[in-house]
Amino acid sequence: MSTIVNRVEKFIFWSRWLQAPLYLGLIVAQGVYVYQFMLELMHLVAGAGNLGEAQIMLIVLGLIDVVMVANLLVMVIIGGYETFVSRLDLDDHPDQPEWLSHVNAGVLKVKLATALIGISSIHLLKTFINAEQLADRVIIAQAGLHALFLLSAIAIAVTDKIMISTALIGKNSH
């Protein structure tokens, strides 16, 4: 019976590798964002003499949005792989991201939440620039969604802090 349980446990542990293709797929998605960024950048450069200030600002905000989503993808790809699949052997690599040395599921959730708030902020700014072209309900809905992102991020951070404090209390009592 012990042998069967041991094999089942090894199989369950191995199953984490089923996530690897998902992270590879996100790398492909990041390539699509690079392509989208280059298209938008060419549009900005080609139309620089004919675009108004608001149009230029909207395109630049779109570029920033693409970069922020790409940053989010990097955090999910690298942090998720490191946390849930396998450790990356990057200890001596000069380009190792600073945050990777202390990444765990809680840290990753907080970083993702703050990245989503940044992306939401860019979308909200674009909405306010185009406010005269949008219905009030659209603006209110986007502002409400942004507020929900903020509240969610705070709740995630507080929950993570409570979990860490509880874990430390548990360690100290033993």
pLDDT for res 13: 94
Query: How many CB atoms neighbour CB 19 within 10 A?
Result: 14
pLDDT for res 159: 87
Instruction: Give the integer Cα–Cα distance in Å for 148 and 20.
Output: 31
Buried b or exposed e, range 130-140, using 16+ CB within 10 angstroms? eeeeeeeeeee
Going by the DSSP 8-state scheme, the letter that residue 94 receives in this structure is T
pLDDT for res 17: 95
Query: How many CB atoms neighbour CB 173 within 10 A?
Result: 6
Q: In tens digits, what is the pLDDT along the chain, a chain of 174 residues?
A: 789 999 999 999 999 999 999 999 999 999 999 999 999 999 999 998 899 888 899 899 999 999 998 988 998 899 889 888 998 887 778 887 777 767 777 777 877 888 888 888 988 888 888 888 888 898 899 899 999 989 998 898 888 888 888 877 777 766
pLDDT for res 174: 61
Instruction: Give the integer Cα–Cα distance in Å for 174 and 167.
Output: 11
Rounded to 5 degrees, φ, ψ at 134 are -120, 150
Enter the pTM of the model: 0.76
